[in-house]
Structure 1
Amino acid sequence: MASSVLYPPTQRSPAGALALSQQAPAILRSSPSTVSSSPLNALLSGSEKSEMWLQYENLILSCLRTGDDQAAHQCLKRLVARFGTDNERVQALMGLVKEAEANNNGELEDVLKGYGEILSENDTNVPIAKRRIALLRSMGRLADAASALVQFLDFSPTDPEAWSELSDIYLSQGLYPQAIYAIEEVLVLAPNAWNVCNPTIPRNLSPMLMHLSQIHARLGELQYMAATAPGVANGSSQKYLAEAIKRFSRSIELCDDYLRGYYGLLLVSKKLLNDGAKATKQPEDSEFALPDTSTIERLNELATAKLSEIARHSASHDRGWRGYSEAEVAAARELLAVGESAVKR
């Protein structure tokens, strides 16, 4: 079996998901079509490997993304035969397949009802609880999704993935303080996520796969959005901007050449320099005091230089600079171009 099938599907681009789903027929042919559900027989036969079940699960996700429902059903059938329909992960995958095949809201409501019935028998079924929350959000029922997440976190308060999802939902509703609080919980729960630094990995990952610098950068983005929201008081705005600078700086310190960190740092420093960082009275709390103007200018120059370097090397496809998101590189070039036009004027 291809080892690439073991990679988390959240790290795959659409093209990568398509390439994997096209391997599904060959992988299924090379795997045993039936495996005993007895742990003893599976142990003695020697034909079962734990990686095989993870591959089936990842194949299901990729095949559903690309519309290959037939291969997804074959993988699901083998998981059901091995682990049974009472297995919580299998139940979640069964529900996910039904969601993907639903043609209208009525069918999605039926799936949602099925999740509710499972949870009524076992309200600690984590995979089903998460699928229900995800389905509520995809149906546009944000208030219900947020309420379900809060309820989920009551019995599982140490789940960083749930806190991250709650932060995103609060953000979509314009509730910036709540979104910031939720992502701060992710930071508290994943303080040691520092050992897999990769500046080219996008932000939209499970927190379990995110580097600590990515979490800091996300927090900085929320702080910046809160600072620039309509109606925010000037004192609160400067407090948010001061915290945003700290978060973006920390993300860069933890991961060299991290595009989102430098982009955020340039964005915040530009705003502070344009608005006049010392134009208003600084907060009394030194923890949230802005740096002096010369420091902000130096940070602005650093972020400009690094973003220019990343954009230049990425465009040339230089070795060691590949893998950045094209959309993020384009956004960086656009931000740099705005700065250049301002200097020319």
Structure 2
Amino acid sequence: MSTELLNPSSSGRPETALRISQQAPDVLKRTAKTSLPFPLSVLFSSEKQETWVELENLLVACLRTGDDKSARLCLDRLTSRFGEQNERILALRGLYEEAIAQDGKAVNAILTTYYDNLLAEDPTNMPIRKRRIALLKSMSKTGDAIAGLVELLVTSPIDAESWAELADLYFSQNLFPQAIYCLEEVLLIVPNAWNMHARLGEVLFLSAESNSNARDAALKDLSNSLKRFCRSIELCDNYLRAFYGLKMVSSKLISLLEVETKTVSKDKTGELSVPDKATVESLNELATSKLVEILRKGSSGEHGWDGYEDAELVAIQALLDQTSQKVER
């Protein structure tokens, strides 16, 4: 049983999807379709949970690589096991229909005659609601997708995935305050998600860039961004995204803070709002040294440091070159 098939990489790289889809003949042969109808197929068969996880991941990979025939076989096996009315099966069937749709008219028909009809019968079908929102997003109907997510979160306010998706949609519309609010909601649900801390740091940094004419607002956003990146690093050692962000935000803060600033600014609650310049410089040095280490060890393929992509290493080098040029000036 393939570990990669059971736990595919979250990066979504095309070569990973291709490698998984190429396992279709062996997996389908091993999971031969039962001749018994549901629910007898459950009562009179020996099975493992991993089998169905494999088939679902294989289905998605085959759709990504254009192997519609194998994807259909996976869907049929899953339907035979769980029944046609299973919520997850209904969502996977919708995903399959979206993938094989020939034009925009066919895609729109899936939205109106499949997803909308299913929700009319059962408004609580969360997999279908999420697939419908995903389809609206892919059709560039961002406003409708946002409205759908807001409605979903009214009934399911602790759905971290939906809050994160809503944050991305708001961010795509340059609605930074709304995106920040959504990411804060994510962290209330999963406070130790280091990737979400880093993502919030990125959005705060870009919000500060949009407030370039309002120095106080920019300083506040940059200071909060700095804290988020630091928290992300605290939760996950060697997290490139957090160190990269820390380098960017600390460099920006150094350029804004006055040289003579020696005291720490505090907000109305007494919490630290803007750190002093010496602290920011120390964090900048920390980020620089870690990025240099990642670049050196990652480029040489040293054991334990070979998980970084070439594009990431190029981005590190570009950032270091850019900041070093500013120092020389």
TM-score after normalising by structure 1? 0.89
3-state SS of 2:135 partner: helix
3-state SS of 1:10 partner: coil
Aligned to 2:147: 147
Matches within 5 A, 1:310-325: 310-325=294-309
Higher RCO by CA contacts (8 Å cutoff, separation 6 or greater): 1
2:243 is aligned with 1:244: no
How big is the shift at 1:178? 0.4
Aligned to 1:215: 196
Aligned to 2:175: 175
3-state SS of 1:289 partner: strand
Q: Is the 8 A contact 1:59 1:75 kept in 2?
A: yes
Aligned to 1:85: 84
Change (3 A) 1:51 1:277: farther
Return the match for 1:303 from 270, 281, 287.
287
Return the match for 1:333 from 310, 317, 320.
317
Matches within 5 A, 1:155-234: 155-191=155-191, 193=192, 212-229=193-210, 233-234=214-215
Unaligned runs of 5+ in 2: none
Q: Is the 8 A contact 2:41 2:80 kept in 1?
A: no
Aligned to 1:266: 247
Cα deviation 1:275-301 (Å, max 9, x = unaligned): 235689956434252111111111111
3-state SS of 1:78 partner: helix
Change (3 A) 1:278 1:344: closer
Aligned residue identity for 1:341 = Q
Cα deviation 1:147-174 (Å, max 9, x = unaligned): 0000011111110000000000000000
Q: Is the 8 A contact 1:63 1:72 kept in 2?
A: yes
Q: Is the 8 A contact 2:160 2:189 kept in 1?
A: yes
Alpha-carbon separation, structure 2, partners of 1:258 and 1:239: 24
How big is the shift at 1:45? 3.4
Aligned to 2:61: 62
Alpha-carbon separation, structure 1, partners of 2:231 and 2:272: 15
Cα deviation 1:185-229 (Å, max 9, x = unaligned): 1111112x4xxxxxxxxxxxxxxxxxx211111111111011111
Alpha-carbon separation, structure 1, partners of 2:272 and 2:207: 15
% identical aligned pairs:
47
Alpha-carbon separation, structure 2, partners of 1:19 and 1:107: 29
Unaligned runs of 5+ in 1: 194-211
3-state SS of 1:158 partner: coil
Q: Is the 8 A contact 2:153 2:162 kept in 1?
A: yes
TM-score after normalising by structure 2? 0.93
Alpha-carbon separation, structure 1, partners of 2:60 and 2:74: 10
Change (3 A) 1:3 1:273: closer
Q: Is the 8 A contact 2:265 2:275 kept in 1?
A: no
Alpha-carbon separation, structure 1, partners of 2:247 and 2:109: 48
Alpha-carbon separation, structure 2, partners of 1:228 and 1:3: 42
Aligned residue identity for 1:227 = A
Cα deviation 1:1-60 (Å, max 9, x = unaligned): 3343111463442111101100101111122222644556634432x2221111111001
Change (3 A) 1:241 1:35: farther
Q: Is the 8 A contact 2:133 2:149 kept in 1?
A: yes
Aligned residue identity for 1:327 = A
Cα deviation 1:101-146 (Å, max 9, x = unaligned): 1122111100111101100111110000000000000110101100
Aligned to 1:205: none
Aligned residue identity for 2:100 = E
Q: Is the 8 A contact 1:314 1:324 kept in 2?
A: yes
2:11 is aligned with 1:30: no
Aligned residue identity for 1:97 = Y
Q: Is the 8 A contact 2:91 2:128 kept in 1?
A: yes
